[in-house]
Amino acid sequence: MTSTDCGIDLAIIGSGSAAFAAAISATNQGKRAVMIERGTTGGTCVNTGCVPSKALLAAADARHTAVAAGRFPGLESARLPVGFAELIGGKDALVDQMRSEKYLDLADDYGFELVHGTAAFTGNGDGPALDVALEDGGSRRIEAAHYLIATGSAPWAPRIDGLAEAGYLTSTTAMELAALPESLLVVGGNAVGLEQAQLFARLGAQVTVIEALDRLAPFEEPEVSAAIKAVFVDEGVVVHTGATLTAVQTDDGQKTAIVRTADGAESALSVGQILVATGRRPVTAGLGLEQVGVKTGTRAEVVVDEHLRTGNPRIWAAGDVTGSPQFVYVAAAQGTLVADNALNGADRTLNYSALPRVTFTSPSIAAVGMTDAQAVGAGLRCDCRTLDLAYVPRALVTRDTRGLVKIVAEADSGRLLGVHAVAEGAGELITAATYALTAGFTVDQLAHTWAPYLTMAEALKLAAQTYTADVAKLSCCAG
């Protein structure tokens, strides 16, 4: 039996960051919001993305701290045993706790309804509605003034001969393994692939990374790519760039990966597991979008305008499903924006020019603003400076000078255009750079801004000082 529910201001498909931000904003305005989720409440970040991966990365980093302790006089390196099942159990407990506290409990606190079922659009462009197949049986039709598509994205794997038959891991299933693999091939050298590769390597697996483009972290600055490759090689990770996985063979449960390098040569690599980290695609299948005048793009993303409205004036989209930068903080900001635009006619937009990003390797990679190439492509004349961490007091006292800070500035005005870093705590450093970029700082202003001594953030000030001084000839705390 189908029941019909009317009088709803905002009906939301999905229950991740964008969905919750929109529902909370709508409820705070005194509006009625309903959220429909077909799977586990909370979306990618808390369940299978940011939270579990960073929890395991922190554990791997703790083990590596003992491995690397020998760099300090008087300390010896130690390789601690790994209870992998216990690590996964601890990660699961943390995820359950955060899902309850940051998602399920909030629905109760704010008073919006969370419906468990599978939603699809019905009706037509002039009169859209949602048909929901309820998880516990039956169905429900939901009619709302506005609708938000916030269904997120899912790991995507290319078609490779024998891969599906052999079986492979994604960033989701890799964190659900019952045992640590002896060897692992990671396909993809961007953020997720880099994080997963270092995670498993530091826990004790033999890891190989292949990247189809000519360098790791291929969309970061070349200096960043070189720095992180050096870290990986130093830690025993085998790296092949300009290389692709062409086929996978299996024999008695053992996988053999056929890898083709840039010169066309092929080699066979025997591995315990293959982790495919070749990107994510928006989840839009089965939503009935065509029926209500909502278009999708070449990667299945929902096509929206700058206000996040689809081709149907009553239907909006936010988060990964739009093809936007795949960060939880972008999804949250977009969800709030949709609630304002849909319910108040605000016509607001978001400015992504100072959007920071962090890859949680160790040392981590962080960036904000333009790369050198992007600035040149925009017709700007650039003056770029790179500071090696060997000139940063914090790196010296921790005896870890791996990394750098690169500043991209406009040549004539000195206006800050971008900052890129490889460093421990690069995410915190790049937050300071984000504030400076947002405020329209010049490198001279940045060079004369207070920075606490023996913090990694001081590297930002020192990098700015390279425009007018030789930092190798400065005293430790020269202003």
Q: List residues forming the annotated binding site.
A: 54, 151-153, 188-195, 211, 279, 320
Task: Look up residue 154 and give its two tokens.
Answer: 């899912």
Report the binding-site residues for NAD(+).
188-195, 211, 279
Name the residue type at position 366: A
Pick from 200, 228, 226, 241: nearest CA to 88: 200
Task: Convert the chain into a string of H (helix), E (strand) and C (coil).
Answer: CEEEEEEEEEEEECCCHHHHHHHHHHHHCCCCEEEEECCCCCHHHHHCCHHHHHHHHHHHHHHHHHHHHHHCCCCCCCCCCCCHHHHHHHHHHHHHHHHHHHHHHHHHHHCCEEEEEEEEEEECCCCEEEEEEECCCCEEEEEEEEEEECCCEEECCCCCECHHHHCCECCCHHHHCCCCCCEEEEECCCHHHHHHHHHHHHHCCEEEEEECCCCCCCCCCHHHHHHHHHHHHHCCCEEEECCEEEEEEEECCEEEEEEECCCCCEEEEEECEEEECCCEEECCCCCCCHHHCCCECCCCCECCCCCCECCCCCEEECHHHHCCCCCHHHHHHHHHHHHHHHHHCCCCCCCCCCCCEEECCCCEEEEEECCHHHHHHCCCCEEEEEEEHHHCHHHHHCCCCCCEEEEEEECCCCEEEEEEEEECCHHHHHHHHHHHHHCCCEHHHHHCCCCCCCCCCHHHHHHHHCCCCCHHHCCCCCC
Question: What's the burial of 106, exposed, middle or buried (CB within 10 Å: 0-12/13-18/19+)?
Answer: middle
Task: Look up residue 435 and give its two tokens.
Answer: 């504030």
Evaluate whether 193 touches 360 at the Cβ level (below 8 Å).
no
Q: Which residues pair with 113 in a beta bridge?
A: 34
Q: Which residues pair with 418 in a beta bridge?
A: 369, 408
Q: How far is CA 129 from the centre of its chain?
A: 32
Report the binding-site residues for FAD.
54, 151-153, 320
